[in-house]
Structure 1
Amino acid sequence: MIQTLPLALPATLVDHHRLDLTALYSTGWGLTLFDLAGTPNGEVYALYGVSRYTYGVDDEEQNPQTANFGYRIITRYSAEGQVLASAQFETGGAREGDSDVADGGDIGLCVLPDGVLAITATPDNTTLVAPDLSRVLAVYDSKDGRPYREFTPDEGDPFAGSISVTPSGRLLCSLAEYGVWRYGNVITNLVGIAEGALTAHSKPAIRALASLDPEPAHQSAADLRPHATYQGAPVGTANRPRPALTELVAAEDSLSGWKQSHLGRPVALSDNLFVVPFYARTFRGGSRGQPFVFALVNDQGEMTGRLRGLHEWRDSPFTGFCFNLAADPHRGHAFHLNRYGLYAWNAAGALRAKLDTGTKAFKALTHFTLGSCAPNGDLLLAHTKQHLILRIPAPDDLTDLAATVEEALRAYARQRTALKKQWGPVNWHWTHSAPLHRI
């Protein structure tokens, strides 16, 4: 079923801070989508942030109508598309209610096999939230804020910087390390698999499968990851998977090599085959044409192939920094959306569909970002300007994708019109009055 869902702000938040929804983001406020996730029963969760920063306003300002603020918000939608509830918590690990929430960059959302939500962020911060959004269940926070603060490993309790779930419930994770590409901070560098359940009371061990930088600099025994292992020993110092992904493709970028490349969020293509994206360095003057690889890596850490068929210039994800991948592990389908098209591959890495945004039928896709695949394979997209979520039923045969998406875009236009009449958005900003949990 094609659905269009509003990415809505809680009305109480808007009223409390006297937020001017007609104001341009250049005035200091903004709404940013982080991730979308679906559940087996058809529900959808959206994770996004809203903040306001006014230059010259004292950070200790007590008046909520003028104070600077920042919140993460999760909103839960029913299978029929109704807003059921939202959860609101402050950024920066600040206390809100009775719980701390791990903070960080590269924020993601995952629904674990037991229905619990996992919010993930670099470096290896994981927050578990109850499915009804009523409370935080656990926080696994690395506390590693280098280079901005002193770091004592014993004070942290990390897990992962991103999580994807395989059909049997294995957890595909990414992990960060200190000293990647000789930087003095903590950057995502490892991909691993965890076999057990992640709960509020225990976390499974992660077995490292692949690395990006084979030799991060300036590590010591303090940088070992006890909960992540390679060949039976904690990951860190000289112990990590080799050859690294960048070593396997080193000959493909003879101009600059793969130094300062970055690792994207890995996704599961099946229970034992994963897509691990990595991208060459970016430049301030433009990076279109820089190399990128969507590597196929099995659960033994072997790079068995890649998703093929994209041209470094004509299909570049660097335009607009569209680095997301999504996968349907039950059908063995992988998807990528950037400014030039929507692409779909089978489990063998063969490109089976390309929906060119240069054509009239699919031009509207340039305004969408790719969130994820729901457990039934439906694609979850978000419109970056109109703040709407589009759910597209995924066909069993990828050769039918073009017709399916074309119909979904027509339905989106109709459903958007109906939502505008029902919700009355202000400058494409939607508000709701469903229950709000301050967790």
Structure 2
Amino acid sequence: MIQTLPLALPGALVDLHRIDLTALYSQGWGVQAYDAAAAPNGDVYALYGVRRSVNGAVGNASDPAMARFAYRIITRYSAAGEVLASALWNAAHGDETVSAVAEGNEMTLCVLPDDTLAVSALPGNTTLISADLSRVVATYAARERRPFQEFKPGDSFATSLSVTPSGRLLCTVAEYGVWRYDSSLTNIVGVADGALTADSRPRIQALASLDPEPARHSDADLRPHVAYQGAPVGLANRPRPALTELLSGEDPLSGWHDARLGRPAPLADDLFVVPVYAKTFRGGSRGQPFVFALVNDQGELTGRLNGLQKWRDSPFTGFCFNVAADPHRGHAFHLNRYGLYAWNKAGMLRAKLDTETKAFKPLTHFTLTSCSPTGDLLLVHNKQHLILRVPVPDDLTALAPAVEEGLRTYARQRTALKKRWAPVNWHWTQTSATVHRL
């Protein structure tokens, strides 16, 4: 069923801070979507944020109407598309009293096999939230290592999570000193076979690494809950050869130095798509190398998603590096400014919907987040703050008419939502659903 769902701001929050929904984002405020995920029962969850950095000449912390703020919001939608509840928390960094949610960068969302929601972020924070969004179940929080300061490790888990059909957890883990940066960056891909709960943190078996030799590691940087060859990951103990070493022949000039690791997607229980993309430049990066690598659960590089050209299909335009996968049918998807691409389990390109064509040009305004357990695509409109849910046919060669119908239906449903919600500059406000403070 095609659905269009609003990324709604709680009305009480808008009133408290007197948010001017008509103001341009250049005036120091904005709404941003981070991720969306679906549960097996058909419910959809969206993770997004609203922030204000300035308000007039100065901010006044004692007056909410003048104060700077940053909130994260999760909204739950029923299988029928109705808003069931929202949860929000203050996203202020460094203040552990603000929320039970462990804050961080590059936040992602995952529905675990027991229906608990997991919010993960750099440098390795994972927060478990009840399915009804009413409470934080558990928090696994890392402590960021700082140069020239004593480092006290936390009890981190992962920077991102995804679930395979049998319930395995496909994880990424950050390490300090990647490419000699004095910070933590995602560097390890691994799989955990146990359940992640408030009482137990399963061991992640490392399968692949990006930077083979992160700089200046010490014993404090060992990851006890991440193992490789029976020992904690850290120092010299990590999968080798690294992905950048395996791919070095494709970019001999830089050797993939300063490359980044995208969020992996499960293509099966034992096969994963791992995005790797080269260094980005401020002046434009179109044409830089990238690979959507296929890695099995033994850590072997078995292939890639084929059929993409570095310039013509570049994900660097708009920085669109997300890959989504339907592991139940062995389908993989990628959306960037030049098209929507679909592959089978063997990595063969089965469909490309070119955004230069009139029918699919609207796709340039969407970001692909994930696939639902039934294989529906979840896309977020970057300016209209709406989620589009599009069912995908079993035969990927029939993807084009399915997406074309999805975009037509989106236009109709968007019109209906505007009449019902009366948004201001595509900002949706809801007052009827329960809002939990986490």
Per the normalisation by structure 2, the TM-score is 0.97
SS at structure 2 position matched to 1:196: coil
Uncovered stretches (5+) of structure 2, i.e. residues with no partner: none
Note the C-alpha offset of 1:150.
3.6
Q: Give the ranges of 4+ consecutive aligned residues of structure 1 lying more than 6 Å apart after TM superposition.
A: 55-60
SS at structure 1 position matched to 2:384: coil
Note the C-alpha offset of 1:57.
6.7
How far apart, in 2, do the equivalents of 1:96 and 1:111 lie?
Answer: 26
- The number of equivalent residue pairs is 436
How far apart, in 2, do the equivalents of 1:276 and 1:308 lie?
Answer: 13
Please give the root-mean-square deviation of Cα atoms over the aligned residues, in Å.
1.4
Look up the equivalent residue of 2:417 and give its one-letter code.
L
Note the C-alpha offset of 1:388.
0.7
- Could you tell me whether the CA contact under 8 Å between 2:121 and 2:159 is conserved in 1? yes
How far apart, in 1, do the equivalents of 2:292 and 2:261 lie?
Answer: 10
How far apart, in 2, do the equivalents of 1:57 and 1:182 lie?
Answer: 39
Residue 177 of structure 1: aligned partner: 175
How far apart, in 2, do the equivalents of 1:112 and 1:246 lie?
Answer: 30
- Per mean C-alpha deviation after superposition, the further-off stretch among 312-321 and 180-189 is 180-189
Note the C-alpha offset of 1:257.
1.9
Spell out, residue by residue over 1:4-31, the C-alpha distance to the aligned partner (whole angstroms, 9 max, x if none). Answer: 1111111111011100000000101010
Note the C-alpha offset of 1:96.
6.6
The correspondence of residues 222-371 of structure 1 with structure 2, limited to 5 A, is 222-371=220-369
Spell out, residue by residue over 1:110-155, the C-alpha distance to the aligned partner (whole angstroms, 9 max, x if none). Answer: 00000000000011110100000001111101111535x945334x
Spell out, residue by residue over 1:281-313, the C-alpha distance to the aligned partner (whole angstroms, 9 max, x if none). Answer: 001110000000000000000000000000000
How far apart, in 1, do the equivalents of 2:120 and 2:64 lie?
Answer: 28
- Could you tell me whether the CA contact under 8 Å between 1:96 and 1:438 is conserved in 2? no
Note the C-alpha offset of 1:317.
0.2
Residue 40 of structure 1: aligned partner: 40
- Could you tell me whether the CA contact under 8 Å between 1:335 and 1:343 is conserved in 2? yes
- Could you tell me whether the CA contact under 8 Å between 1:144 and 1:151 is conserved in 2? no
Residue 17 of structure 1: aligned partner: 17
How far apart, in 2, do the equivalents of 1:266 and 1:103 lie?
Answer: 21
- Could you tell me whether the CA contact under 8 Å between 1:94 and 1:101 is conserved in 2? no
- Could you tell me whether the CA contact under 8 Å between 1:382 and 1:389 is conserved in 2? yes
SS at structure 1 position matched to 2:268: coil
Residue 382 of structure 1: aligned partner: 380
Residue 66 of structure 1: aligned partner: 66
Q: 1:210 to 1:57 in 2, by over 3 A?
A: farther
The correspondence of residues 105-116 of structure 1 with structure 2, limited to 5 A, is 105-116=105-116
How far apart, in 1, do the equivalents of 2:29 and 2:56 lie?
Answer: 14
Note the C-alpha offset of 1:256.
2.0
- Could you tell me whether the CA contact under 8 Å between 2:145 and 2:151 is conserved in 1? no
The correspondence of residues 22-171 of structure 1 with structure 2, limited to 5 A, is 22-54=22-54, 61-91=61-91, 92=93, 94=95, 99-147=99-147, 150-154=149-153, 156-171=154-169
Residue 405 of structure 1: aligned partner: 403
- Could you tell me whether the CA contact under 8 Å between 2:28 and 2:54 is conserved in 1? yes
Note the C-alpha offset of 1:254.
2.0
Spell out, residue by residue over 1:185-204, the C-alpha distance to the aligned partner (whole angstroms, 9 max, x if none). Answer: 11100000000000011110
Q: 1:426 to 1:59 in 2, by over 3 A?
A: closer
How far apart, in 2, do the equivalents of 1:128 and 1:362 lie?
Answer: 37
How far apart, in 2, do the equivalents of 1:308 and 1:257 lie?
Answer: 21
Look up the equivalent residue of 1:353 and give its one-letter code.
A
- Could you tell me whether the CA contact under 8 Å between 1:93 and 1:101 is conserved in 2? no
How far apart, in 1, do the equivalents of 2:57 and 2:151 lie?
Answer: 33
Note the C-alpha offset of 1:321.
0.4
Note the C-alpha offset of 1:59.
6.5
Identity rate, percent: 70
Residue 391 of structure 1: aligned partner: 389
Per the normalisation by structure 1, the TM-score is 0.97
SS at structure 2 position matched to 1:15: helix
Spell out, residue by residue over 1:188-227, the C-alpha distance to the aligned partner (whole angstroms, 9 max, x if none). Answer: 0000000000001111000000000001111011110000
Note the C-alpha offset of 1:184.
1.2
Spell out, residue by residue over 1:68-108, the C-alpha distance to the aligned partner (whole angstroms, 9 max, x if none). Answer: 000100000000100000001011264577x5211111110
Spell out, residue by residue over 1:352-392, the C-alpha distance to the aligned partner (whole angstroms, 9 max, x if none). Answer: 00000000110000000001101100000011111111000
SS at structure 2 position matched to 1:153: coil
- Could you tell me whether the CA contact under 8 Å between 1:167 and 1:271 is conserved in 2? yes
SS at structure 1 position matched to 2:279: coil
Spell out, residue by residue over 1:8-60, the C-alpha distance to the aligned partner (whole angstroms, 9 max, x if none). Answer: 11111101110000000010101010000001111100000100011787676
- Could you tell me whether the CA contact under 8 Å between 1:90 and 1:96 is conserved in 2? no
Look up the equivalent residue of 1:409 and give its one-letter code.
L
- Could you tell me whether the CA contact under 8 Å between 2:60 and 2:66 is conserved in 1? no
Residue 3 of structure 1: aligned partner: 3
How far apart, in 2, do the equivalents of 1:145 and 1:34 lie?
Answer: 25
How far apart, in 2, do the equivalents of 1:374 and 1:286 lie?
Answer: 33
Look up the equivalent residue of 2:274 and give its one-letter code.
V
- Could you tell me whether the CA contact under 8 Å between 1:70 and 1:90 is conserved in 2? yes
SS at structure 2 position matched to 1:269: strand
Q: 1:10 to 1:56 in 2, by over 3 A?
A: closer
How far apart, in 2, do the equivalents of 1:75 and 1:55 lie?
Answer: 26
Look up the equivalent residue of 1:422 and give its one-letter code.
R
